[in-house]
C-alpha cells in the first residue's frame, strides 16, 4: 500500500480557481519521488497540501495509513526543506537544528547527542555556534536539511532545495542528498523544475503540467519514452517536425515530413493510421550531419552556430521548419553537409492534437 496517498484532491490559493482539481498521487515507502514541471504546474501546491499548509477543498490526504486531511501542519511530523533555506536568523546552527527536538520535549543530553550526530552527517561539525548569516549558501542548506531530518520525520518534503545554489555546489549537494536518502531510507518528495536534478535523484518522477499529471515513471522511462508532447519537450526533445503517417505496421510507422520520409519505431498515441497528422520529436544531440545516410534524413542549411565549450549547437532550417543539432567539439565548417540523419529509435511520434 502506498505510504502517501492523495485522493481526489482539489486545492489551491483561490477558492474559485483551484490549481489542483481531483488530483491523485501515490508515493511508496522509502521512495524518492520528484514532482517535476514548470512554474505554475501545481507541484508546489501539491507539496504544500501534503505538508498541511494548504487545506484541500475536497479529497483526502493519507500518510502512513492515517487520514491527515485536517491535521494541522505542526502535528504531521513532516520535515520541510525550502528553496531559500528559511533558517531561524536569530538562532545558532545548534539551536536551529535543536528546535524541533525542543518542541518534542526531548531531554537535553539526548538533544545534544542527536544534533551532534546529524551535524556530523551533513559535515557541519564545528559550526554549532555560528549564526545563519555567518554561513555560506551550501552550509545554510545543510543546516536546513539537518534541522528537518533530526526530528526523524515520517516524510521529508523538499521544495526546490538546490535552486539558490551555484552550479558546482548544486552538484555537490545533489550527491549529498542522494547519499542521505540511501543512508536514512526516508520517504522523500522533491519538487523541482530541473530535469537533471529529477533524473539523477529520483526513484520515480511525476511530470506535472497545469495541475495535472502528464506522466509517472522511473527516470529512465521518462527520459527515453516521454508519454506526451509536453513531457517530450520538457525532457529535451526540442526539435519538432510536422508530418503525416504514410504507412503503419506493428513495428512502427513511416512519417512523411516535407520531402523526407522517416521510419519510426517509437510510437505513441496507439493505433496511428495512414493519413494521421503527427508531430515528430527528436533531441538536438540525436541528429547527426551525414554524407552517407540515405534514409531518415532531413535536408538542412546551417544558419548559425553557438559554441558551448564541449559541444556546439548548429541552428539549421529545413524548408520552413527550423531545427537545432548539437555535436561534440568546437564549431566546424559543415557547408558541404546538406542533410542530417536521425536514427529511427531516436524519433518520437505523437498524434497532432486537433486544436493545434
Partner 1 sequence: MKQPRFPAVLFGLTLVFLLGPFVVILLSSFSADSIMRFPPSGFSLEWYQKVFNIRMFRTTFWISLKTGLAATFTALALGVPVAYALVRYSFRGKTALEVFFSSPAIVPGLVIGFSLLRFFIFVTKVPIGMGLYFGHTAILFPYAVRVVSASLRNFDPAVEEAAVSLGSTRLHTFFAVVVPNVRSGLVAAFILAFITSFNNVPISLFLTGPGVATLPIQMLVYMEYYFDPTISALSSIIIVFTILIVQGAERALGITNYL
By CB under 8 A, tell whether 103 contacts partner 1. Answer: yes
In this complex, which beta carbon is closest to partner 1, that of residue 19 or of residue 207? 19
- Smallest separation (angstroms) from partner 1 to the CB of 78: 6
66-67 and 212-217 as β-strands: parallel, antiparallel, unpaired? unpaired
Residue 282 half-sphere exposure toward CB, CA atoms < 13 A: 28
By CB under 8 A, tell whether 217 contacts partner 1. Answer: no
C-alpha–C-alpha distance, residues 73 and 64, integer Å: 15
Q: Which stretch binds partner 1 (CB under 8 A): 59-67, 145-153, 216-224, 345-353?
A: 145-153
In this complex, which beta carbon is closest to partner 1, that of residue 63 or of residue 298? 63
Binds partner 1 by CB under 8 A, chosen from 55, 57, 88, 218: 88
- Smallest separation (angstroms) from partner 1 to the CB of 47: 11
- Smallest separation (angstroms) from partner 1 to the CB of 82: 5
Binds partner 1 by CB under 8 A, chosen from 2, 58, 71, 86: 86
Q: Are 321 and 314 in contact (CB under 8 A)?
A: no
By CB under 8 A, tell whether 107 contacts partner 1. Answer: no
- Smallest separation (angstroms) from partner 1 to the CB of 97: 10
H-helix or E-strand spanning residue 145 = helix 137-149
Q: Scanning residues 44 to 83, which ones bind partner 1 (CB under 8 A)?
A: 51, 53, 72-76, 78-80, 82
By CB under 8 A, tell whether 39 contacts partner 1. Answer: no
Residue 77 half-sphere exposure toward CB, CA atoms < 13 A: 11
First to last CA, the chain: 40
**How many other CB atoms sit within 10 Å of the CB of residue 220?**
10
Maximum separation of any 2 CA atoms in the chain, in Å: 76
- Smallest separation (angstroms) from partner 1 to the CB of 180: 18
In this complex, which beta carbon is closest to partner 1, that of residue 3 or of residue 82? 82
By CB under 8 A, tell whether 151 contacts partner 1. Answer: yes
Per-position DSSP letters for 196-252, written without gaps between them: HHHHHH-SEEEEEETTEEEEEE-HHHHHHS-SSHHHHHHTT--EEEEEEEEEEETTE
Interface ranges with partner 1 (CB under 8 A): 51, 53, 72-76, 78-80, 82, 84, 86-90, 99-100, 103-104, 144, 147-148, 151
Amino acid at each position: 500500500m502506498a505510504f502517501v496517498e492523495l485522493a481526489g484532491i482539489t486545492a489551491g490559493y483561490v477558492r474559485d480557481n483551484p490549481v489542483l482539481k481531483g488530483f491523485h498521487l501515490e508515493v511508496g515507502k522509502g521512495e524518492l519521488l520528484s514532482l517535476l514541471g514548470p512554474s505554475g504546474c501545481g507541484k508546489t501546491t501539491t507539496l504544500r497540501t501534503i505538508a498541511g499548509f494548504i487545506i484541500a477543498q475536497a479529497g483526502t490526504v493519507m500518510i502512513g495509513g492515517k487520514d491527515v486531511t485536517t491535521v494541522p501542519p505542526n502535528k504531521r511530523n513532516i520535515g520541510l526543506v525550502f528553496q531559500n533555506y528559511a533558517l531561524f536568523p536569530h538562532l545558532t546552527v545548534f539551536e536551529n537544528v535543536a528546535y524541533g527536538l525542543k518542541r518534542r520535549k526531548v531531554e537535553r543530553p539526548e538533544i545534544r547527542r542527536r544534533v551532534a550526530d546529524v551535524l556530523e552527517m551533513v559535515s557541519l561539525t564545528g559550526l554549532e555556534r555560528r549564526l545563519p548569516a555567518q554561513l555560506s549558501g551550501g552550509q545554510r542548506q545543510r543546516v536546513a536539511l539537518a534541522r528537518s531530518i533530526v526530528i526523524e520525520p515520517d516524510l521529508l518534503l523538499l521544495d526546490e532545495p538546490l535552486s539558490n545554489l551555484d552550479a558546482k555546489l548544486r552538484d555537490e549537494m545533489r550527491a549529498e542528498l542522494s547519499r542521505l536518502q540511501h543512508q536514512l531510507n526516508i520517504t522523500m518528495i522533491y519538487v523541482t523544475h530541473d530535469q537533471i536534478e529529477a533524473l539523477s535523484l529520483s526513484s520515480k518522477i511525476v511530470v506535472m503540467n497545469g495541475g495535472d499529471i502528464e506522466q509517472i515513471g522511473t527516470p529512465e522511462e521518462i527520459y527515453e519514452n516521454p508519454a506526451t508532447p509536453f513531457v517530450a519537450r520538457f525532457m529535451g526533445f526540442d526539435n519538432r517536425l510536422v508530418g503525416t503517417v504514410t504507412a503503419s505496421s506493428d513495428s512502427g510507422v513511416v512519417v512523411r515530413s516535407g520531402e523526407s520520409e522517416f521510419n519510426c519505431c517509437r510510437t505513441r498515441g496507439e493505433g496511428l493510421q495512414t493519413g494521421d497528422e503527427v508531430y515528430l520529436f527528436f533531441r538536438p544531440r540525436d541528429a547527426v550531419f551525414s554524407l552517407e545516410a540515405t534514409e531518415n534524413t532531413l535536408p538542412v542549411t546551417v544558419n548559425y552556430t553557438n559554441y558551448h565549450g564541449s559541444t556546439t549547437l548548429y541552428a539549421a532550417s529545413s524548408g520552413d521548419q527550423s531545427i537545432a543539432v548539437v555535436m561534440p567539439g568546437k564549431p566546424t565548417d559543415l557547408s558541404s553537409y546538406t542533410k542530417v540523419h536521425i536514427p529511427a529509435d531516436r524519433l518520437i511520434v505523437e498524434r497532432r492534437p486537433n486544436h493545434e
